[in-house]
Amino acid sequence: MIKFFKLIGKFFVSIYMWTVMFLMAFIILVPNIIVLFFAKPTRVFYNVRSMLRFMFKILFIKVTLEMPEDFDYNKSYIIMPNHISFFDIPVVCACLPNHTFGIEAESHFSWPIYGYFIKKYGTLPINRKNILSSFRTFETAAKNMKEQNASLLVFPEGHRSENGKIQQLKKIPFKMAQIVKAPIVPVGLTGLYDLSPKGGFILTPKPVKVKFGKPIPVEEYEGLKPEEIAKIVRQRIIELSEDDIVPEDEKQLQNE
């Protein structure tokens, strides 16, 4: 009986959280679309970041941010977190250190309201099946980073983890990094899988942490192969996350 009431409680908590999420998405997106007609994306970035922080407060989710002591907030970076939850993007965006834009799949730009917002904001579409098109997107990203003094947010796994464990990182974000020529900042996320596992409706408001690692300078990776850079960044992310995100098969290989 106790388990039944706990389940009912979790169900109603989840209803509240999803409702707040969708209402806040509308409240965040629509006014800021209007703002984008009159102001630069930089202004909208700070608006959205503040509104996301407020959203997590009313969701009873404590978000802790940890940054390196000597982090330079005036530089442009390629920010690379692990990807384990529906909440990853809003949580990371609530913690970004400076004006940042992203690269998203072309299909996202056809979504109602959100697609129009990211287009106006300056998010770049990418067609992962077309290598030439992808490289043009990277060249545009490099240009925009310099012109706007902005950072770039990329989830190098490509899609959310099914089990909370880190996946192998795609090579294409690191080919992009070598074109963009900006320091790479690995980011480790903690607590997101417990909050919202992929495909689950039940949400559990728990503390989460976003930990930014020390930037990897261009000089340290520009001569490496993309898969070599991916290996370094992946290991940094594992070290930054306080969750156990190493897949079981990798642990077995390490123990042999």
**Can you name the residues that pair with 210 across neighbouring β-strands?**
65, 189
Q: How far is CA 65 from CA 57, 173, 209, in A?
A: 14, 24, 6
Cα 228–Cα 229–Cα 235 angle in degrees, nearest 5 = 95
**Rounded distance, CA 152 to CA 27, Å?**
24
Structural fold of domain 2-255: Glycerol-3-phosphate (1)-acyltransferase (3.40.1130)
**Rounded distance, CA 136 to CA 53, Å?**
34
**Rounded distance, CA 6 to CA 69, Å?**
42
The region of weakest confidence among 39-43, 136-140, 180-184, 191-195 is 136-140
Q: What are phi and psi of 146, to 5 degrees?
A: -70, -45
pLDDT by residue (tens digit) across 9-59? 888 999 999 999 999 999 999 999 999 999 999 999 999 999 999 999 999
**pLDDT for residue 5 is more than 70:** no
Are the CB atoms for 25 and 31 separated by under 8 Å?
Answer: no
Q: Would you give the end-to-end CA distance of the chain in angstroms?
A: 45
Q: What are phi and psi of 188, to 5 degrees?
A: -105, 130
**Can you name the residues that pair with 153 across neighbouring β-strands?**
79, 102
> What is this structure's pTM?
0.92
pLDDT by residue (tens digit) across 196-242? 887 778 888 999 999 999 999 999 998 899 999 999 999 999 999 99
Q: How far is CA 209 from CA 19, 48, 92, 191, in A?
A: 23, 19, 10, 7
**Rounded distance, CA 26 to CA 23, Å?**
5
pLDDT of residue 29: 95
